[in-house]
Amino acid sequence: MNPALDITTETETVRCTEKMRCGTARYDPGGGGINVARVIQALGGTATAVFPAGGTAGTHILELLRRRDSPTWPVWIDRPTRESFTVNELSTGKQYRFVLPGPAMTADDQERCLNALRGAAEGARYVVASGSLAPGLSPDLYQQVAELCATLGVSLILDTSGRGLRNIRSNVFLLKASVREIEDLMGRELPDDQTRVTAAREIIDRGITRMVLMSCGAAGALLVRADRAQRFAAVPVTGRSGVGAGDAMVAAVVTGLSRDWSMEESMRLGIAAGAAMTLTPGTEVCRIEDVERLFDTAPHPEAIEVQRRTPAS
């Protein structure tokens, strides 16, 4: 619901107030849902990207997707789609990411997006709702998406943060979030596996979701269900860019599930795809040969034992 035209370039050193000469810019269609759809396609799956588009940036995103033969369902809006800007500093290897808020959307824009989703999701197995909410959208938009998916009998995988995450109440099959995003939601720090699993189970107990996938950066990820919790170690790689790694993980997980793989094997594919995404420049999608190679070395999950607290009488 808030796509972006991703622009990536490089310069020797980033300095305050100085004019910095940059290399040739790379343009990619971006935003959580679009990234997920692109990686699913790269892995041999089929996904349709449903997104609002406006102005020159929105037209450019659609052109880039069509060049890649990516199925799309754009919803045209009056205000221009945002751009995001990433600069790689060659002297240090650091990456600087500048993200704009996005266009203000109207109630009519929102309704047309929901109607587009209703049409695109008819007969689908999964819907992935991913990314931030553009200004002007209802804070409970993703809850409306969840209810729409429940009506259609489609499983919803949700990857969002902020107000989109705070206003979800039910009907999510798999909730994916980072440790920081779960900390923001719960209003407390989660320094270790024990506290993270406990927080995830609180979310499950509220009836929000059946499973929580919590990304932990270099420490890998946790998969928490009501009856068990598992730790998936990261695959060590020397990456070039962290942009889109979480989206690649989600895309690979849903790809595995759509192939009727177990949740554990789908998660291992997700860990491999997330690592493979760091090997590509900017927001270029991961290469299937990298994903397959890293999947072969991805560790199997380790069970986490967490004692449930007994409510005080």
Region of poorest pLDDT, from 5-19, 201-215, 239-253: 239-253
Active site annotation includes 290:
no
> Rounded mean pLDDT of 172-180?
97
Any domain includes 113:
yes
Any domain includes 241:
yes
Residue 227's H or E segment, with its range, is none
> Rounded mean pLDDT of 282-287?
82
Any domain includes 189:
yes
CATH number reported for the structural domain that contains residue 133 in this entry: 3.40.1190.20
Any domain includes 4:
no
Any domain includes 201:
yes
Give the burial string for 241-259 (b: 16+ CB within 10 Å, else e). Answer: bebbbbbbbbbbbbbbbbe
Q: What is the per-residue pLDDT across 42-89, written as a single tens digit (0 to 9) for each? A: 999 999 999 999 999 999 999 999 999 999 999 999 999 999 999 999
CB 231 within 8 Å of CB 213: no
Give the active site residue among 6, 193, 247, 290.
Answer: 247
Does 130 have pLDDT greater than 90?
yes
Domain that holds residue 162: 32-50+106-303
Residue 38 vs residues 9, 140, 189, 200, 241: alpha-carbon distances, Å = 21, 26, 34, 29, 17
Number of domains in the chain: 1
Any domain includes 155:
yes
> Rounded mean pLDDT of 211-233?
95
- Give me the pLDDT at residue 312, please: 47
Does 191 have pLDDT greater than 60?
yes
CB 81 within 8 Å of CB 54: yes
- Give me the pLDDT at residue 27, please: 94
Any domain includes 65:
no
- Give me the pLDDT at residue 313, please: 39
Q: For the chain, give the percent of residues with pLDDT over 90.
A: 89
Tally of CB atoms within 10 A around 160: 24
Region of poorest pLDDT, from 107-121, 193-207, 236-250: 236-250
- Give me the pLDDT at residue 155, please: 98
Any domain includes 272:
yes
- Give me the pLDDT at residue 243, please: 73
Residue 105 has phi, psi (to 5 degrees) of -110, 155
pTM for the model: 0.92
